[in-house]
Amino acid sequence: MMKFLGSKTLETDRLILRKIKIDDAKIAFNNWCNSDLVDKYVLWKKHPNVETTIKQYEKWIEEYNDEKTFRWIVELKDTHNLIGTIDVSNRFIKHGSCEIGYCYSDKSWNKGYATEALKAVIKYLFEECEAELVNAEFMENNPASGKVMEKAGMKFEGRLRSRVIDKNNIRNDLLCYSITKDEYFNSNN
C-alpha cells in the first residue's frame, strides 16, 4: 500500500522542491502562468491576470490538507527564483499509480531542470512513498516533454490516439511513458 507522506521538501543539486505558498503566486504568474510559450503546450488556458493565479494557489494550498496531495513549486537554490511546478494527479493514486504533471517557465527551459525535478519526485515516490508505478503523458506537439520523461528513466508505453485539441485547434495524440517499481530498483538510481 502506497504511503501518503505529502509534499515533503526535496532537494537536488540545483533545486528545492517545496510546498506552494500564497506569496509565490505573483512570481508564478510572471514566470509561467501568463506565458504564451507555455500556453502552447498545456491544456489549461494561460492566466489572464494575477488574481487567477492567486485563486488557483489558494485552492492548491487548501488541497495540502488532503494527504493524497503531492504538489511542489520548484525553486532555484542559488537565486531562489521560482521556475515551475510538478505534481501528481490523484486519479489512480489509491492504486499506487502516480501520474505526474509539470510546467516550467520558458526562461528556464533546456537547462535540465525539469529532468532534475522529475528524477527527485520519482525517487521520493518509489523510495519513501512505496509507489508501484509512475507515469506521465505529453501531447505530440511537445517532444521536449517526452525527452524529459526518457531522461528520467521512463519508458514509452503507448499512444492515446487523437485525444486532445492543442492551442492551434489541431487534434493531438497523447504519448504515455511510465516506470515501474521493479524497473526503478533494478536501475542504477
Ligand X SMILES: CC(C)(COP(=O)(O)OP(=O)(O)OC[C@H]1O[C@@H](n2cnc3c(N)ncnc32)[C@H](O)[C@@H]1OP(=O)(O)O)[C@@H](O)C(=O)NCCC(=O)NCCS
Q: Which residues bind ligand X (CB under 6 A)?
A: 38, 41-42, 102-104, 109-115, 138, 142-145, 147-148
Minimal distance, residue 73 CB to ligand X, in Å: 13
Using CB positions, name the residue nearest to ligand X. 114
Matching residue, cell 508505478: 133
How far, CA to CA in Å, does 20 sit from each of 70, 86, 132? 11, 11, 26
Q: d(Cα 141, Cα 133) in Å, to the nearest integer?
A: 25
Q: Which is nearer to ligand X, 60 or 113 (CB)?
A: 113
Minimal distance, residue 1 CB to ligand X, in Å: 28
Q: Which is nearer to ligand X, 65 or 78 (CB)?
A: 78
Cα dihedral 74/77/80/84 (nearest 10): -20
Q: d(Cα 60, Cα 79) in Å, to the nearest integer?
A: 25
Q: Which is nearer to ligand X, 30 or 142 (CB)?
A: 142
Q: Which is nearer to ligand X, 90 or 142 (CB)?
A: 142
Minimal distance, residue 145 CB to ligand X, in Å: 4
Minimal distance, residue 138 CB to ligand X, in Å: 4
Task: Answer yes or no: are the C-beta atoms of 121 and 72 closer than 8 Å.
Answer: yes
Minimal distance, residue 112 CB to ligand X, in Å: 4
The DSSP code for 147 is H
Minimal distance, residue 65 CB to ligand X, in Å: 26
Q: Which is nearer to ligand X, 69 or 108 (CB)?
A: 108
> Measuring CA to CA, which residue among 74, 88, 174, 66 is closest to residue 132?
88
Q: How many helices (H) and strands (E) does the chain have?
A: 6, 8
Q: Which is nearer to ligand X, 56 or 115 (CB)?
A: 115
Helix (H, G, I), strand (E, B) or coil at 124: helix
